Amino acid sequence: MTVPGAVAQLLPDGSAAAPADAPPQVQQAVWAANRIQDKPYVYGGGHAEIEDNGYDCSGTVSYALHHAGLLETPLDSGSFMRWGESGKGAWITVYTNPGHAYVVLAGLRLDTSSAGVISRRSTRRRIARSATERGPRWRPTGRPTSGFTKRHPLGF
């Protein structure tokens, strides 16, 4: 599913719609991430096997990038610190440090941590319950980026 414009949209079921104006690789990364939205957090998940029963933070990022054709083999969060190009990307930005990684694809955060997500009881905006669960999920809000290195694939 796509939506008009250049920003991915979080859908009521917790999946995301890719932006119609995004490059095909970005759309593929969004659609791939939708396939693992119901998977649990599993330390080391997504590293030995790209198709796994659960995913950790860097396994989640690796899954989306791999299915977009932007990453050959899974990386751990420390390895993402040296991957790609330095800085924020136009479409894809991986935020990483030695202990955690997440990715923002076309403006929407894919993260195994719900850090920064406001409880749906404390906001008027409806947030899918899945957005507050641990595991690979689209998150409706940003999170503090202090302590993270920003990386992006060349051209994205």
Closest C-alpha among 119, 116, 121, 103 to residue 142: 116
| Predicted confidence (pLDDT) at residue 42 exceeds the cutoff of 90 | yes
The domain locations on the chain are: 2-152
Overall average pLDDT of the 47-67 stretch: 97
Q: How many angstroms separate the CA atoms of 61 and 50, rounded?
A: 11
Return the sign of the alpha-carbon dihedral for residues 6, 7, 8, 9: negative
Query: What span, in angstroms and rounded, lies between the C-alpha atoms of 61 and 55?
Result: 9
The pLDDT tens digits of the residues spanning 58-113 come to 999 999 999 999 999 999 999 999 999 999 999 999 999 999 999 999 999 999 99
| 19 strand-pairing partners | 3
Rounded to a whole number of angstroms, the distance between the first and last alpha carbons of the chain is 21
Enter the pTM of the model: 0.92
Span 116-142, mean pLDDT?
72
Q: Tell me, what's the pLDDT at 117?
A: 84
Q: What is the CATH number of domain 2-152?
A: 3.90.1720.10
